[in-house]
Copies of this chain bind each other. A is one copy, B any other.
Amino acid sequence: MRIGVLTSGGDCPGLNAVIRSVVHRAVVDHGDEVIGFHDGWRGLLECDYRKLDLDAVGGILARGGTVLGSSRVRPGDLRDGVERARSHVAELGLDAIIPIGGEGTLKAAHLLSEAGLPIIGVPKTIDNDIAATDVTFGFDTAVGVATEALDRLKTTAESHQRVLIVEVMGRHTGWIALHSGMAAGAHAIVVPERPFDILELTRRVGERFEAGKRFAIVVVAEGAKPRENTMAWDEGGKDIYGHERFAGVARQLSVELEQRLGKEARPVILGHVQRGGTPTAYDRVLATRFGWHAVEAAHRGEFGMLTSLRGTEITTVPLAHAVETLKTVPAERYAEAECVL
Contacts and interface: CB of A to CB of B under 8 A. Distances in A.
Interface of A: 7, 10-11, 15, 20, 24-25, 28-29, 61-66, 69-71, 134-135, 140, 143-147, 149, 151-161, 164, 179-180, 182-185, 214, 241, 243-244, 246, 251, 255, 266-269, 271-273, 275-278, 280-282, 284-285, 288-289, 292-293, 310-312, 336, 338
Contact of A273 (B64, B153, B160, B241): B153
A220 to B, nearest CB: 15
Q: Which 7 pairs, one residue from A and one from B, show the smallest C-beta to C-beta distance?
A: A152-B277, A156-B276, A64-B155, A65-B155, A65-B159, A183-B281, A147-B281
Contacts of A180: 281
A185 B281 contact: no
A24 B13 CA distance: 30
A190 to B, nearest CB: 18
A63 B155 contact: yes
6 contacts: A63-B155, A143-B281, A151-B277, A153-B277, A183-B282, A310-B311
Contacts of A285: 143, 179, 182-183
Contacts of A63: 155
Number of copies: 4
Given A29-B338, A255-B244, A273-B152, A69 B311 contact: no
Nearest to A309: B311
A276 B65 contact: no
Contacts of A289: 336
A327 to B, nearest CB: 9
A288 B183 CA distance: 8
Given A272-B164, A288-B336, A277 B155 contact: yes
A133 to B, nearest CB: 10
Given A153-B272, A156-B64, A185-B61, A140 B282 contact: yes
Given A152-B273, A159-B69, A272-B156, A281 B144 contact: yes
Contact of A147 (B7, B135, B284): B284
A271 B164 CA distance: 11
A292 B336 contact: yes
Contacts of A310: 311
Nearest to A239: B255
Contact of A282 (B64, B143, B255): B143
A284 B65 contact: no
B160 A70 contact: yes
Contact of A145 (B152, B158, B269): B152
Contacts of A251: 246
